[in-house]
Structure 1
């Protein structure tokens, strides 16, 4: 029978009178002490709980040290469970090797950075940037994040993190964005045995991220403003190009900017004499069984594509004048983001010139398309399909409440 516990190793008194805190492993009458790089004086250690005494007068850092010991206990239990599952009659040296080999694991910052590196290596640059932004936000409010282990990110820590963001003026949806990313990282860490589920701060009886969600203003154009935009060619080339890109997105079922940027001539497929744009969304292209979107090249779309051919310099076989340099990876991502910001700035100027009430952005084209279809009694399931959503709940964030006329017609069917 083996026993593994935390002890104050009193056979090795240090010059300052403290003793090292060790993990004592006993099996078949043999002993091994594993130094944990912690120390305590007699009055700071509780022999019964095998932890530092919960008294700040005796030890101001007892919470931090006990958090580390809890992390080490998780590690110890993981190793013992692994040996049991694999039916290993382990030795003391095997246990020590496993325990010390895992010492590089469990640190939040290091794990985050490994995920960022992996995402960049597999060209998931957007997700890598989201992880980086979340880590920066954690570091903003927690100067010790580089030393934190996952067991320290308990429900109290998450509550404090949320409160600090709220005090800093972050709205509910912004806090939800960061906490969802943190939750995803923690879920992966648990799956990869880098963290324990024992102190998991989310899930049942944990922090409820969904409660942070706020109703956002539906950003779509009224029909009169949409018609004004369609029928107001600009003499200023930059603004006209912005108008054309907005309309291209609108006619392509509200195609996102990053998807527009990456369209090439290979995305145009002719079948039985009819042209279609066929593509997979960057956001969901790696999702299992996700089908490509198929968009008919209508006369309006054909006119826009022809305008781009005649009036802009297209690079390579790209359909649109968005990507202008031969970049790849993170450089390409940053290039597209820069072009995206520039287009939205130009759309804002265009909107002011036309007197459009809404602040024009590429995202407004997507919302406007969805609301235009709903206004023409297209089912929400169909709208969800053309938007490329996996879940109709996502589609509902785009759509306004049903008009009273629609509800009145429904009542007549009863």
Structure 2
């Protein structure tokens, strides 16, 4: 078992008192999670190498007793983890899962919504804000369907519950695509709760209920709409102009994800703004994308030139002071604000509403229509399978298929 427990102060978030939170870090299976101790110290009071409070500390009146308590707490936590390993409960888990297992409440105190809240907090802690948002949407869906006054327990969710949820969703005019997202997310929650010993396996309702597949929702913009966006006469420096620049930059950089675009820094630039090298936040997969003239112009527009300071963010999405564990949330909030502006832009141009996420689908569909093979689009998006890429690709219209048919039989 390769697991490490280590105390440290969180220097990313400084309190007004000049102190930092003291946390215990769990490192396991190339992942980590943090347990707050409830104590705060200055940098001068903490000895990181020895993981103790210095005897000169003015915060702790008895540093020897406090350091002994820290060592005892760490030893007790390690004993619990060893016990979990002996019971075979650590296989395939992450550090955050271990924290949840060790500090889990008694099973009977969990409701479906409280367990979702716990999972959302863990995801936010890991910086996986997008997945946390999906859980938030599921929670709101369950509250709307079941109500908030009566507690919803895992035992309440059976085949009949799922079928009624499905009927209510479809009767409201919603599609099967969004229903599938809710159901798959709820299934994942059930599996997680079973894994943590919170729910008995015989209560699992998805053995009887089948999540039906549906045609994926096509998010890509048509080429004519994209031309309207590019050619729109917008006031330079306005919110609409900046929103357009962010959207086009995402397309020009092979459908780069908003999170990855926000985290790009000058250090990601190769040569004289020739390429951008980065790792996908979601998967860790490395990318190297050529900077075409349009991207260079956008960077000049957004930053007032290309005179960047060392370690500056490439796109003005994050600010220099935005440093710390709340960065994913700030990126998410700015994404929502951007999408609101893009909706305004769509209304002004009289085209269908679109979001920054559609840039990824638009790049894929444009590439397909220009004759780029699916394997090339798959590599460009960083997908593991062609099936995954197909969900990004729009269907060909009859006019395109007619032309293809003419090409096949024209010379016969």
- SS at 2:203's partner residue? coil
- SS at 1:198's partner residue? helix
Which residue in 2 is equivalent to 1:406?
404
Which residue in 2 is equivalent to 1:295?
289
Q: TM-score, normalised by structure 2?
A: 0.63
Which residue in 2 is equivalent to 1:336?
331
Which residue in 2 is equivalent to 1:42?
none
Tell me if structure 1 keeps the 8 A contact 2:107–2:198. no
Tell me if structure 2 keeps the 8 A contact 1:276–1:297. yes
Which residue in 2 is equivalent to 1:157?
161
Which residue in 2 is equivalent to 1:208?
210
Unpaired stretches in structure 1, ≥5 consecutive residues? 1-81, 87-100, 286-290
1:310 to 304, 310, 324: 304
Q: TM-score, normalised by structure 1?
A: 0.63
Residues 309 and 364 (structure 1), Cα distance of their counterparts in 2 relative to 1, 3 Å cut = same
Which residue in 2 is equivalent to 1:279?
278
CA root-mean-square deviation: 3.5
Unpaired stretches in structure 2, ≥5 consecutive residues? 1-83, 89-104
The equivalences for 1:2-401 within 5 A come to 103-104=107-108, 107-143=111-147, 147-203=151-207, 206-211=208-213, 213-222=214-223, 224-232=224-232, 234-238=234-238, 239-270=240-271, 275-285=274-284, 291-310=285-304, 317-324=312-319, 326-327=321-322, 331-353=326-348, 355=349, 357-401=351-395
Runs of 4+ in 1 over 6 A off after TM superposition: 311-316, 411-414
> Which deviations, in whole Å up to 9, do the C-alpha atoms of 1:320-351 show, x marking residues without a partner?
12224734677534433343233334334444
Residues 230 and 283 (structure 1), Cα distance of their counterparts in 2 relative to 1, 3 Å cut = same
Tell me if structure 2 keeps the 8 A contact 1:165–1:175. yes
> Which deviations, in whole Å up to 9, do the C-alpha atoms of 1:119-151 show, x marking residues without a partner?
233332332232233223223322478744433
1 CA distance for matches of 2:378 and 2:291? 20
2 CA distance for matches of 1:328 and 1:263? 14
Structure with higher Rg: it is 1
Per the TM alignment, residue 385 of structure 1 is displaced from its structure 2 partner at its CA by 1.8
1 CA distance for matches of 2:382 and 2:168? 36
Higher relative CO (Cα under 8 Å, sequence separation at least 6) belongs to 2
Residues 362 and 119 (structure 1), Cα distance of their counterparts in 2 relative to 1, 3 Å cut = closer
Residues 292 and 410 (structure 1), Cα distance of their counterparts in 2 relative to 1, 3 Å cut = farther
- SS at 2:270's partner residue? strand
- SS at 2:276's partner residue? strand
